[in-house]
Amino acid sequence: MAASVADTFSFCVEPAGRARAAVEVRFVSSSKGKGLFATGHIHKGETIFSEKPVVSSQFLWNALCKYKACDHCLRALETAEENAQRLLGKSYRVLPHPEQCGIRKDCHQHCPHCQVAYCSSECRQAAFEQYHQVLCLGPSREDPKHPLNKLQEAWRNVHYPPETASIMLMARMVATVKQAKDKDWWIKLFSQFCCKTANEEEEIVHKLLGDKFQGQVELLRRLFTEALYEERLSRWFTPEGFRSLFALVATNGQGIGTSSLSQWVHACDALELPPPERERLDAFIDQLYKDIEKETGEFLNCEGSGLYVLQSCCNHSCIPNAETCFPDNNFLLHLTALEEIKPGEEICISYLDCCQRERSRHSRHKILRENYLFTCSCPKCLAQADDASVTSEEEELEGEGETEAAELEDEMTDV
């Protein structure tokens, strides 16, 4: 029996204790595929659902640069103060209200064989049961000749920051199947994620790896095969199948960001303080972020990506009625309504950031075609169909500056 979205819903979506609005997946069209629709009234600000990924992984450069995260759920492992000190390059910065930091180091654990870190015994056990038995490097963790280390090094050499995907997400997919008792269930689950045509797949890989992508992909495929070959997944290791797997991860992977510092800021914002103390704390936080921006730039968070069954069913709109966020400082995705959503209405998110959504129809279409290989026909784009189809240099330059500023603000506040 095929693993349908309904079959996997209970596996991925958080159970009791978290309210979930009524939604269903429907086929929309041959061009858009499936979509997510409301079956009841959803109020503005309501959490539509909370969902765990079927598989996730921290970005490799992010991990190499000592952004410490749980190897399973990506929860930030540093305290807020340690986080700030590392981003500033200063060990003497002390944060006020340290009790507002939610990191509990006494709960942290390590794999006894390879020493990768987890935020809890639950995450260590979940990783061990799903994929880590296959991927554990044991005493070879620092051995550059180990096949998995060679694969990761090759990936870092072809995909530099800012990162958008990771070869280890694909590795965890394979490892999950290798470890599973019911391998067919997992294979069918992964096959649910949107796939592209051969030409589209090549365009996606080209976009991700650059002009020399053909040779790079073949190198990665050989190393991937050496490290992880599984007979039941033999097609994934062929040139065509590897490209398809690559495209699946690139187009369906949802970015994940976690930050103990951001969590501390949110907790401080909720404190009831006398006005003078509130002003001092707000000024301290504002200056802290300015100092971090000078030292570190836009790379503030522990970052990775994951595959989410329901979230991947959400189509794009330039005027979205929902958005994703990670308020729990781990990989648990929350989909939240941005406005009232009526029964039967499609639930859409935006693949563009807030500044990109304010640019011209031509500019938005250019970004979407280059990164997602489709032309948007949302109400906003249809209403602007007669607008000029030329992007001015002024808009390009203005958009770049706005985008950088918006991305930094998102890093600061939206985790």
Predicted pLDDT at 168:
97
Backbone angles phi, psi at 404, to 5 degrees: -60, -45
- Tens of pLDDT, residues 232-257: 999 999 998 998 898 889 888 999 99
Which one has a higher pLDDT value, 399 or 351? 351
Asked if residue 40 has pLDDT above 90, the reply is yes
Question: Which bin fits 66, alpha (ψ -120 to 50), beta or left (φ > 0)?
Answer: left
DSSP code of residue 270: T
Arithmetic mean of pLDDT over the chain: 87
Contact criterion met (CB below 8 Å) for 200 and 152: no
Backbone angles phi, psi at 13, to 5 degrees: -90, 135
Amino acid code (one letter) for 355? C
Backbone angles phi, psi at 97, to 5 degrees: 50, 55
Contact criterion met (CB below 8 Å) for 140 and 146: yes
Helix, strand and coil percent figures for the chain, each rounded to 5: 50, 15, 35
b/e burial code for range 303-313 (CB count within 10 A of at least 16 → b)? bbbbbbbbbbb
Predicted pLDDT at 90:
81
Asked if residue 67 has pLDDT above 50, the reply is yes
- Span 49-74, mean pLDDT? 97
Number of Cβ atoms within 10 Å of the Cβ of 282: 13
pLDDT band at 210 (very low <50, low <70, confident <90, very high): low
Please, which residues have CB within 8 angstroms of residue 247's CB and are 6 or more apart in sequence?
Answer: 195, 196, 200, 201, 204, 205
b/e burial code for range 351-367 (CB count within 10 A of at least 16 → b)? bbeebbbebbbebbbeb
| Number of Cα atoms under 13 Å in the Cβ half of residue 387 | 16
- Tens of pLDDT, residues 73-130: 999 999 999 999 999 988 777 999 999 999 999 999 999 999 999 999 999 999 999 9
pTM: 0.86
Identify any residues that bridge with 254 across adjacent strands, giving them in sequence order: 306
Place of tokens 């506040």: 413
Give the start-end residues of each E strand in 296-372.
Answer: 302-307, 315-316, 322-325, 333-337, 346-349
- Tens of pLDDT, residues 344-385: 999 999 988 888 889 999 999 988 887 777 889 999 999 998
Environment class of residue 408 by beta-carbon count within 10 Å: exposed (0-12), middle (13-18) or buried (19+)? Answer: middle
SS3 368: helix
Identify any residues that bridge with 258 across adjacent strands, giving them in sequence order: 302
DSSP string, 152-209: HHHHHTT-PSSP---HHHHHHHHHHHHH-SSHHHHHHHHHTS----HHHHHHHHHHHH
Contact criterion met (CB below 8 Å) for 82 and 197: no
DSSP code of residue 106: G
Alpha-carbon gap, residue 113 to 79, rounded angstroms? 25
Asked if residue 415 has pLDDT above 50, the reply is yes
Predicted pLDDT at 157:
93
Predicted pLDDT at 269:
97
CA Rg value for the chain: 22
- Tens of pLDDT, residues 5-34: 544 444 455 533 344 568 999 998 877 789
